Structure 1
Amino acid sequence: MDQTVVLITGCSSGIGLSLAVRLASDPSKIYKVYATMRDLAKKKRLMDCVKDSHKDTMDVLQMDITHHQSILDVRDGIKEKRVDILVCNAGVGLVGPLESQSMEMMRQILEVNVLGTIRTIQTFLPGMKARGSGRVLVTGSIGGLQGLPFNEIYCASKFAVEGVCESLAILLQHFNIHVSLIECGPVNTDFLANLRRTEPGDASLSQADARTRALYATYLQHCDTMFQDAAQEAGDIVQVFLEAIEAQSPALRYYTNSALLPLTTLKLAARDGSQYVKAMNKFIFSIDKAGDC
């Protein structure tokens, strides 16, 4: 019986690494995993995790999703000449007042999170269509479903990914290809350590007014508390990925953290959004309406 070929982006750490290890270590060896990362110098952690259990189940490949030729090279190097399950997991975050963000930095975030994801799907989609089967799983975010202050560019990128996946899900049913978004909240991974974050002492903060800087300081304190209280482990997220992979009829969205669902539900239910904005202000800044400090 042929193995199910899985290609995963962003496997140097976090969710991508954990998912690659879980699938490659499956005792039944039903998966062949192509674990990709931009910098192969970071593959040691992945190799240490799988040890000798991956000889027939995993290859580690260099792939930079911001360069089309890099993706093509991986596609052409896959021994089975097909990908049954594509997992678009690579991404990067950006936190800070909008006034402090350079155009170059904003472009980098959009290049990775939006165009990198689109470029990867675009490359492997024709093969899936030709075979009349396939799965596309994308690491989404609660920030793609609701706006978060000081995450404007990150949320913009994740909102865009939501639109891409939702649009494709409608079309790809005609080709027996299922698209699923794994909607994550805070996760204890290197994503936080690698976050592009405006620090309180950064010179770029001078571009923002004093009130914005004060609210940003409050936001950073809230984030630290939220990660302590609500953050999940990568293994918890992997279980949700497995649910989507093993489902006969996968859902479009899988939510990994029920703690944040009430605010998402409120946003979707509120026609004009005003109640959601007030609720988010109370949740993050402990104030009843924007402007009350």
Structure 2
Amino acid sequence: MSTLNCTHSCFLETNWNHLEDFRCLLIYPPCSCTRLCLSQSVIATMRDLKKKDKLEEAAGDAYGKTMTLLPLDVCSDESVKQCINSIKDRHVDILINNAGVGLLGPVESISIEEMKRVFDTNFFGVVRMIKEVMPDMKKRRSGHIVVMSSVMGLQGVVFNDVYTASKFAMEGFCESMAVQLMKFNVRLSMIEPGPVHTEFEMKMMEDVSKMDFPGVDADTVRYFKDVYLPSSTDIFEAMGQTPEDIAKCTKMVIESDSPRFRNLTNSLYTPIVALKYADETGGLSVNTFYNLLFNFGPLMHITMSILKCLTCSCLRRRTISPN
């Protein structure tokens, strides 16, 4: 068995006055823990409106005024179409694709159906939303599509095989679409966080550490539980950002006059991603990660501990800027 859960990011309080020509900012799923107070029209969406209490509280006076809430299931063609059709003139200036699910564990323990569910949200969910808003943006010759991706869309990570594959698919799709959209003055931006401290991530780590993984050989289970999980915890503690960090980076991207296509939110990950492109054979990155995980585990633990001490709050603030 493996875990499958929803992930969320947050938007900080802001006042985007310079976006005065924008009529609608569509976010899905919405922030569940940070106050929204926007001068523009914001439409937040979620699958289950019964869970809206935290959002209402976070939105404060903006709820029902500049911010409205609509039901949306990105895994349903009908739901996506109904949501966009309910918006006046179908006019969406900024689409923020923020829905996602995680899947972690030995691939032998993951059913094909579980894999399909991950792709249905992480990849096809994004495709459904873009397909629905893109024609109107192209007609208006304006718009900005923001997709919440991951460094795992650039670099494979052991025991995250299916999740990584879904992000790779998203990156390839968006990289191809960005070229066409430029011709119509529609911008497309990828937000690529590394590890992010959330209750979801911590609970997922805790849950998988207790699983038995029947049908998986003992060595693989041991490598996963005794090698990968401790190393992953070290990385999260040393290099992890907060949801608010990711929100600030996203805000910078949508406020930029010339937003970049790719936006790594954590500069500490730049050298890791660069390994992949430094060697066209792929051997450098694969061998480096293998050695770090299986041969130099204690050294990696010490390195992460030192890095945790060095990454003071001032450095963390600098890492969130995409510029």
Relative to the length of structure 2, the TM-score reads 0.81
Residues 6 and 83 in structure 1, CA contact (< 8 A), matched pair in contact too? yes
RMSD: 2.0
> Which whole-Å deviations, capped at 9, do the CAs of 1:8-54 have from their partners, x for residues lacking one?
112264xxx64xx4xx414xx1x211101111122111111111133
Cα distance in 1 between the residues matched to 2:97 and 2:123: 11
> Which whole-Å deviations, capped at 9, do the CAs of 1:182-219 have from their partners, x for residues lacking one?
0011112244257599724434x232222211110111
- 1:117 aligned residue: 126
Cα distance in 2 between the residues matched to 1:155 and 1:207: 23
Question: For residues 108 and 237 of structure 1, do their structure 2 counterparts lie closer, same or farther at Cα, with a shift above 3 Å needed?
Answer: same
Residues 145 and 188 in structure 2, CA contact (< 8 A), matched pair in contact too? yes
Cα distance in 2 between the residues matched to 1:131 and 1:41: 35
1:240-255 equivalences under 5 Å are 240-255=249-264
Q: Which has the higher strand share?
A: 1
Cα distance in 1 between the residues matched to 2:220 and 2:159: 10
Cα distance in 2 between the residues matched to 1:252 and 1:241: 12
One-letter code aligned to 1:192 = E
- 2:81 aligned residue: 72
Residues 22 and 93 in structure 2, CA contact (< 8 A), matched pair in contact too? no
Secondary structure of 2:90 counterpart? coil
Give the counterpart of 1:230 among 234, 239, 242.
Answer: 239
Give the counterpart of 1:25 among 37, 53, 58.
Answer: 37
One-letter code aligned to 1:276 = S
Listed as ranges, the gaps of 5+ residues in structure 1 are: 289-293
Give the counterpart of 1:215 among 220, 223, 227.
Answer: 223
One-letter code aligned to 1:97 = P
Question: For residues 282 and 259 of structure 1, do their structure 2 counterparts lie closer, same or farther at Cα, with a shift above 3 Å needed?
Answer: farther
Aligned-residue identity in percent? 38
- 2:301 aligned residue: none
One-letter code aligned to 1:9 = Y
Question: For residues 122 and 52 of structure 1, do their structure 2 counterparts lie closer, same or farther at Cα, with a shift above 3 Å needed?
Answer: same
- 2:274 aligned residue: 265
- 1:37 aligned residue: 46
- 1:5 aligned residue: 24
Cα distance in 2 between the residues matched to 1:69 and 1:10: 17
Residues 133 and 175 in structure 1, CA contact (< 8 A), matched pair in contact too? yes
Give the counterpart of 2:166 among 141, 145, 157.
Answer: 157
Residues 37 and 60 in structure 2, CA contact (< 8 A), matched pair in contact too? no
One-letter code aligned to 1:199 = V
Cα distance in 2 between the residues matched to 1:54 and 1:46: 9
> Which whole-Å deviations, capped at 9, do the CAs of 1:140-193 have from their partners, x for residues lacking one?
101100000001100000000000110010010010001000001111224425
Relative to the length of structure 1, the TM-score reads 0.88
One-letter code aligned to 1:210 = A
One-letter code aligned to 1:25 = C
- 2:307 aligned residue: none
The farther-off stretch of 153-162 and 261-270 is 261-270
Secondary structure of 2:41 counterpart? strand
Cα distance in 2 between the residues matched to 1:132 and 1:181: 20
One-letter code aligned to 1:206 = P
Cα distance in 2 between the residues matched to 1:83 and 1:131: 10
